[in-house]
A = this chain, B = another copy of it.
Amino acid sequence: MREQLTSIKNQHVKDWKKLATKRGREKFNAYLLDGWHLVEEALKSGVTLTALIGTADELAAHDDIVARFDQVYEVTPAILKHVLDTVTPQGIAAVAQLPNHRFQPGVDLKGAWLLLDRVQDPGNVGTMIRTADAAGFAGVVASAQTADLFSPKVVRSMQGSQFHLQLFTGDLRKWIADFKAAGKPVYGTQLNPAAQSFRQVHPGPNFALIMGNEGHGMASDLLAATTTNLYIPMKGAAESLNVAVSAGILMFELNRAALTD
């Protein structure tokens, strides 16, 4: 079905706009994909897309993709800009179903996992998920106080990695306990007297790595529950690294065996 919308007061437009908020995403169990790249990645991965929203020009230029949607909405550029709140919208968007990203007791803990403890900046969260994907990680678990994994800014920075790995939101205490009960090491990332250089640690293919809040690091009860804490040796004058850069260095080194040289 194809429908033409010209007013931002249309109920569909109002509903899409609500997907910018966590509450709206929960209500509709959906989030927005902005641009052809993400729409194509979603189609490739078999994710359920409930609607395609595009300008007349963009829809006309992509007949083959349009044909794969039951619901197509032709909208004005102004409507798309209103819904997406981006400076230069590409003229196309889609409504995607949220994956089940809650804590599920039966998750297979195989492979490398990234755990995010209250990471606040959506750009950092998205970049870390994208990096985990590139580093061959199996999944990412975000604590409840971490930036919502399907907010527009996180989705933009993930660049489609949500289609390649498993994403969960949950209580990290439970996850850590599960990893440890399964005999898999859980690495924290905070300097303490017993911390080890990340270069000295050579985990097998199954482990978890925890990254903490930008300003405050990891919560102390999580730190206390880790197998080992890691640090990145650096030069004296610098005080720290951006959390997404640290995560990248650690993930590519710890999962090195899984990456083809």
- Which A residues contact B (CB, under 8 angstroms)? 123, 127, 130-131, 133-136, 157, 159-161, 163-164, 197, 199-200, 232-235, 237-242, 244-249, 252, 256, 258-261
Contact = CB atoms under 8 A, between A and B. Distances in A.
Return the 8 tightest CB-CB contacts between A and B, nearest first: A134-B238, A245-B248, A136-B235, A164-B237, A134-B234, A133-B238, A233-B259, A197-B261
Given A123-B123, A242-B248, 14 more contacts: A127-B245, A130-B241, A133-B235, A134-B232, A134-B238, A157-B242, A160-B239, A164-B238, A197-B261, A233-B260, A244-B245, A245-B245, A245-B248, A249-B252
A127 B239 CA distance: 13
Given A244-B245, A249-B249, A259-B233, A238 B130 contact: yes
A241 B131 contact: yes
A244 B242 CA distance: 10
- As for how many copies of this chain the complex holds, the number is 2
27 contacts: A123-B123, A131-B241, A131-B242, A133-B237, A133-B238, A134-B232, A134-B235, A134-B238, A134-B240, A135-B234, A136-B234, A136-B235, A160-B239, A161-B237, A161-B238, A164-B235, A164-B238, A197-B261, A232-B252, A233-B259, A233-B260, A233-B261, A235-B259, A244-B244, A245-B245, A248-B248, A249-B252
Contacts of A232: 134, 252
Contacts of A260: 233
Contacts of A241: 130-131, 134, 248
Contacts of A245: 127, 131, 244-245, 247-248
Nearest to A246: B248
A122 to B, nearest CB: 13
A235 B252 CA distance: 11
Contacts of A252: 232, 249
A221 to B, nearest CB: 28
Nearest to A233: B259
A83 B127 CA distance: 31
A199 B244 contact: no
